[in-house]
Structure 1
Amino acid sequence: MSPTTKRITLLLAATFPCLGIPAENGATTLDAVVVSGSRVEHNTFDLPAAVDVVDAARIGADQARVNASEALAAVPGITVQNRQNYAQDLQISSRGFGARSAFGVRGIRLISDGIPASMPDGQGQAATFNLDRAERIEVLRGPMAVVYGNHAGGVIQMFTPDGKGAPNIEGGFVAGSNNTWKTDISAQGEVGGLGYVIDASRFATDGYRDHSKAERDQSMVKLTYRPSADGKLTFIANSFKQTADDPQGQTWAGYQANPRSVAQPVLDYNTRKSIDHMQGGLTYEHRFGDHSVLVSAYAGQRSTIQYQSIPPGPQGNSKHSGGVIDFDRDFAGASTRWIGRFQLAGGKLTTTVGVDYEQSIDNRRGYENFIGTTLGVKGVQRRAEEDRVASFDQYAQAEWQGERWTFSGGVRHSNVSFSVKDAYLSNGNDGGSVSYEKTTPTIAAMFRLTPTVNIYASAARGFEAPTFNELFYSGPGGTFSYNLKPSTSTHYETGLKAFIGSDSRLDLAVFQIETEDELVVDSAAGGRTTYRNAGQTMRRGLEAAVDSRWANNLSTRVAYTFLDARYDEAFTTSSGLINADNRLPGVPAQSLFGELAWKHPASGFHAAVEGIARSKVYVEDTNTRQAAPGYVIANLRFGVDRKVGDVNLRTFLRFDNIFDRQYVGSVIVGDGNSRYYEAAPGCTWLAGVSARYSF
């Protein structure tokens, strides 16, 4: 062991005196396998990137398995806010990317079993993840995420298992506060070489806030077949159908008076949204010795109708497209990649070359949201157009792994093109096209100080093109904008990964992100948001996570995030002058998650206490409006897992926010009506039971 290595080892031992540093030949644990980043199987410990794996145990840790926020709360660097509004999906940001999204997920690539859950323009829907059958979720942040192209401020991938072994069936039911319930049934196994996983669920809730009811039906089918020892064919299909009321945001005064309340326009217009989504994909992977080729294709359809609270007054605007959004979307894509593995210079070289193509076509219509004096109904048509977006990307990656050094790098060329064909010309022609093109490189190096301590550094260039929803109303007079520029970013990260003793692991990452032409909210009112390019921004932060296994079947996890995200240059929006050094809205500067869990192996009983703390969140760019205050909450859960004959039984009971704290769970950035605040529930309960029978 070199003197430098000894000094670092002693430093770690001094930092964690209750834990011992193992000898160089000590066993390592707590090391999951991921494919994110390198696109080949890789231990997280040996990957020069900030990456976390949320396994099936945590995804289903006494939860309803409805929202990804349940599973991702313990991941540093990711802020996942449950809006308590199923019409607008979760609010997810990675190191600040995606925080300004008025609905859905942007700035982060979402992928499910290899099929993108983000559209080619970067807008995604985490609600389509089927958490009931999720085997793991991989969360990648930092420079290595850039190799996934446009809007890859982070990458969240969900994977479901292949059907294997003897057939089994499983059914479950959960119920809890606010008339929330969910039922789920599934079957999986393998028959005649054909593996299958089938799942269907129904979920309903009255919601915590007024006017926040939701109903959801979700199903999936996954089939796997091996035509040869080296080939694997996978077919997967998903459907998602949901109707949900939209409580929108509330003013600070309204929130304080009654956290459950909604603004009057929500009730006047009966704001709501319905979604009918289905998709299917086919993947074939074949190995040729140490090399492999993967080819996949997918297609889907999505229909959405949304009633907003835009008042009749602006209808006189010749470019106003109405308060009812109605569109049918057809989307498809294909990808192929080749992975080669070679021996080179005493180490292992892995190379990846691939091509991705995605397209989406919307038949979009707009209507007035009133007839006469009756509000919240579909009225006169004000919009008809065909919107197309397509992306075509090529990428190459290489990694050389030696005894102590690992070097990796990659480059991706992305082209994203938008076109609008306007068929409603009485208010002018909004038709046209615009495209964005960028080449984004990444590079990283990792050094193994000891068998239990790795340090790494990485850098990359990234970009975010505007999404269709950011382009629609951001032009002059509320027209389509062909002038918004993509934001470009430079990412730097350095980190340390260490096994401490035989039962603890530390992951630490420090990062800096410089962004130019940041896309920001210019104005927002009635559910319609416009955007503009600001100047430069700077994000600096730290992420740390420690997992430990203790005596007497105790385990702990602590995850901490510090993010200092600010504007570097002053600029002007409809809100006025935004000063340099103002903080980016929508993200807390500090977040902390802690969990202490215990399990009794003989009885199957388990219990855990969770703590979540977040600092205040600014709601708009001037930083002068009332920020959403910071909060600290605690959750408690119990459960029993038992096997009775051929039946596996699971029961649980959980209490969230056990001290009944009142707090703002999420914010709507830059809302023009000052309705920024979305209240989180007080103390709630959830109970569930499930049974699995194996034949």
Structure 2
Amino acid sequence: MAHPFSLSLPRPKHLHCALLCALAATSAAAADAEQTLGTMVITGSRVEASSFDMPYSIDAVQLGDTAEGLRVNVSEVLGSVPGVVVQNRQNYAQDLQISVRGFGARAAFGVRGVKLIADGIPASNPDGQGQAATFNLDTAERIEVLRGPFATVYGNHAGGVIQLFSRDGKGAPRIRGSVYAGEHGTYKIGIGAEGEKNGVGFVLDASRFETDGERRYSAARRDQSFAKITLAPDEDSKLTLLFSSLHQPDTEDPLGVTWNTYKRDARGVEPIALQYKTRKSIDHLQGGAVYERRFGEDRLQVQAYAGQRSVTQYQSIPVAAQANPRHAGGVVDFDREFHGIGARWIMQREIGAGKLTLTTGVDHDRAEDDRQGYENFVGSTFGVKGRLRRDETNTVTSTDPYVQATWQQGDWDWSLGVRHSNVRFEVDDHYIVGPNGDDSGSVRYRKTTPAVGVLWRATPLLNLYASFGTGFETPTLGEIAYSSSGGFNLGLKPSTSRQFELGLKAYVGERTRLNLAAFQIKTRDEIVSAGAIGGRTSYRNASKTLREGLELAVETEFTDKLSARGALTVMRAIYDESFDTVDSGNRIPGVPRISAWGELAWKPMAGLSTALEAVHRSAVEVNDSNTGKAAPSYTLLNLRLVAEQQSGPWTFSQLLRLDNVFDRKHIASVIVGDGNGRFYEPGPGRNVYGGVQASYRF
């Protein structure tokens, strides 16, 4: 086994463009600007604190009122965070592919291995599966991304935590409207209102996004709405009411393509997708409330939420495969009801020469799926709902108490966290026909996951830290749904990890900030694909895996008008022990060895800004055996121009973007372990889009 952090760095020929932006920030810094010590964050410690003073890797991406993109996908805004790879599949039927330090890259749909939270309310189910499409970027104030050992204190996941915070309604009431449009019939229109009146803050938003798709047969429509009301029942308390909805009907699913199809036509689609009219419809509705009350130096925080989600998906499973009487059919149809409640007590005390912050809390979450499966044909007509082949109720509940403590004394901060996860899966099978027996059953997973960290303020401009923690990741409902022998895979074990991180956070001069982290993650029983039979993927436990790497984030202001930001991740992610036909040393599929992002921004005058962005991904494997054609590396360049004007109560802004300037042909993401060899999801070519926004302040 390799020595910890023994990275052998590849030298891909197209890396240089991205590194210019990512590393240029260390070259110089002006000496006449005031220094700002750290963005304030909440994720990790659960209390507001400077990210500069946290003993773990956490970054906050600020989103202003003026859009720099369509604000449809978080892939538009998370490029500046090292350790995070957000791949836009160009397939709205399957959502984004998000991985953090390599966790989540195997997800065939949705977000796996990464905890998603919006305004304190989980956007991930108790089984660990989440949907980034529910994030509303039009109303977001910032997104915080936590990686490493302390992310494990948030429960059932392994990689990290992505938490969105929407704006509070403040200031004079104002209304806004926006229209954006681009190639392939793409457009987005939105309206909104926000502000404060008689002590009541409000943020309201509604939008429609529609596209014919970058690839053929990938049209989508997405209607979103959002409402946030903030009240102050008295001077010591705050109540926030939240509502959101997502309506996405008949989203075309172009599936992945084989390598030969991609080489022949980067916008191509396999005939089987057209034959079976593969598509998905989603309706998601939820509401929640967050209450906070102060008791002197202490605080009580309580949140509750409930919602419904309905999904109907037509898959491309051939008729012959469904001849097996135990097959669940080619149409997935479920209605989910979910709810949860959480409470925490935050106590702060000055004790002698130090300060203690203690947080104790408990989270309870439940999701129940009324799930059916149908044949995707009637006679010789394909892509229609046929006979019933599956009927069951799937229930997942989790109850997790946790404790976190921080002790600050002099130049040292000590942090400790521990969470006990108790996750129960229950399957109640109602479809018992002929040889298809009763597959009802249940399984429970329990694990206590501690984390500890220490930070040393070496100088006022340099902090050094170390942290260690254990992680816990159960299978998802989708992963236990099928086994190679038929029925549910209730014998699938959860994966566990041991994570270690060393890092520094520093200011160089007065205008340059730098974060550097080295990490190592050892995982047992990682859940991987066991193969696909009859169009259904089953999963198994691998033996041992190893992830180790370096993350660098840097930002600087060369002058008042010229600035740069960059993020670089170099990671070695391998199977550390052989199992079945997978050899020790094989790369974990879906994880790029190098990921880099850079931005050079120029503001020639007030109200006008332009930027050059560079994105680089190294090659990624597509299956555990590393026998498939790896998706090649690529480097993309993007340009944007943003303008803003004010006239009395009116504010106008304009956006113009040119993405993939040189029309680089590339694979944006891969479907890990696809049983039909359709691993590849091509990325978009050169794209131009733009739009305008107008707001009026009363």
1:132-160 superposed Cα distances (whole Å, 9 cap, x missing partner):
00000000000010110111420000001
Aligned 8 A contact 1:397 1:409 in 2: yes
Question: Which of the residues 510, 515, 520 maps onto 1:502?
Answer: 510
Moved more, 340-349 or 587-596: 340-349
Q: Which residue of 1 is the match for residue 628 of structure 2? A: 625
Partner Cα distance (1:556, 1:634) in 2: 15
Superposed structure 1 runs of 4+ greater than 3 Å apart: 15-22, 524-528
**Structure 1 residue corresponding to 2:226, chosen from 199, 206, 220:** 220
Look up the match of 2:561. Answer: 553
Partner of 2:616: 613
- Which AA in structure 1 matches 2:693? S
649, 655, 660: which is aligned to 1:646?
649
Whether 1:687 aligns to 2:697 is no
Q: Which moved more, 1:621-630 or 1:522-531?
A: 522-531
- 1:420 to 2:427 alignment: yes
Instruction: Give the counterpart of 1:666 among 658, 664, 669.
Output: 669
TM superposition shift of 1:524: 3.6
Aligned to 1:440: 449
Aligned: 1:29 with 2:64: no
Which runs of 5 or more structure 1 residues have no equivalent in the other structure? 1-14
The corresponding residue for 2:112 is 106
Q: Indicate conservation of the 8 Å contact 2:277/2:383, yes or no.
A: yes
Q: 1:413-436 CA deviation, whole Å, 9 max, x = no partner?
A: 000000011111001111010010
Structure 2 CA distance for partners of 1:70 and 1:17, relative to 1, 3 Å = closer
1:363 aligned residue: 370
Structure 1 pair 653–600 and aligned structure 2 pair: CA distance change class (3 A)? same
Equivalences for residues 16-55 of structure 1 within 5 A: 18-19=28-29, 28-29=35-36, 31-55=38-62
Deviations 1:79-101 (A, max 9, x none): 10000000000000000111100
Change (3 A) 1:598 1:21: closer
Distance in 1, matches of 2:568 and 2:162, equals: 19
Q: Which has the higher contact order (CA 8 A, sep 6+)?
A: 2
Residue type of the alignment partner of 2:28: C
Determine the structure 1 residue equivalent to 2:317.
310
Amino acid aligned to 2:547 = R
Number of residue equivalences: 671
Shift of 1:164: 1.4
Change (3 A) 1:60 1:167: closer
| In structure 2, C-alpha distance between the alignment counterparts of 1:16 and 1:280, rounded to whole Å | 45
Q: Which residues of 2 match residues 260-659 of structure 1 at below 5 A?
A: 260-426=267-433, 427-474=436-483, 476-477=485-486, 479-524=487-532, 528-572=536-580, 577-602=581-606, 604-659=607-662
Residues 659, 474 of structure 1: alpha-carbon distance in 2 compared, 3 angstrom cutoff: same
Q: Is the 8 A contact 1:30 1:505 kept in 2?
A: no
Q: CA deviation at 1:264?
A: 0.9
> Is there any run of 5+ residues in structure 2 with no aligned partner, and where?
1-24
Structure 2 Cα separation of the partners of residues 181 and 605 of structure 1: 24
Distance in 2 (CA, whole Å) between partners of 1:259 and 1:692 is: 40
Query: How well do the aligned residues superpose, as a CA RMSD in angstroms?
Result: 1.4
- What is the distance in 2 between the residues matched to 1:551 and 1:643? 25
Contact 1:98-1:105 within 8 A present in 2 as well: yes
Return closer, same or farther for 1:659/1:617 CA change in 2, 3 Å cut-off: same
**TM-superposition CA deviations, 1:425-459 (whole Å, max 9, x none):** 00111101001000000000000010110000000
Q: Measure, in 1, the Cα distance between the counterparts of 2:514 and 2:687.
A: 33
Q: 1:17 to 1:618 in 2, by over 3 A?
A: closer
Q: Is the 8 A contact 1:525 1:673 kept in 2?
A: no
Identity %: 55
Cα distance in 2, alignment partners of residues 152 and 112 from structure 1? 19
Distance 1:678 1:162 in 2: 38
TM-score normalised by the chain length of structure 2: 0.95
Could you give the per-residue CA deviations for residues 90-144 of structure 1, whole angstroms, max 9, x where no partner exists?
0000001111000000100000001100000000000000000000000000001
Query: Do 1:30 and 1:503's aligned partners in 2 also have CA atoms closer than 8 Å?
Result: no
Partner Cα distance (1:17, 1:324) in 2 = 56
Q: 1:420 to 1:592 in 2, by over 3 A?
A: same
| CA apart distance, 1:353 | 0.1
Q: 2:121 aligns with which of 103, 106, 115?
A: 115
In the TM superposition, what is the alpha-carbon distance from 1:19 to its structure 2 partner?
Answer: 4.3
Tell me the distance in 2 between the aligned counterparts of 1:530 and 1:610.
39
The whole-number CA distance in structure 2 between the counterparts of 1:526 and 1:287 is 57
Cα shift at 1:552? 4.3
Provide Cα deviations, 1:627-672, integer angstroms capped at 9, x if missing partner.
Answer: 0000011000112111111111100100000001000000000001
Q: How many angstroms apart in 2 are the aligned matches of 1:160 and 1:528?
A: 38
Residues 585 and 617 in structure 1, CA contact (< 8 A), matched pair in contact too: yes
Specify the alignment match of 2:16 in structure 1: none
2:520, 2:542 → 1: CA distance?
19
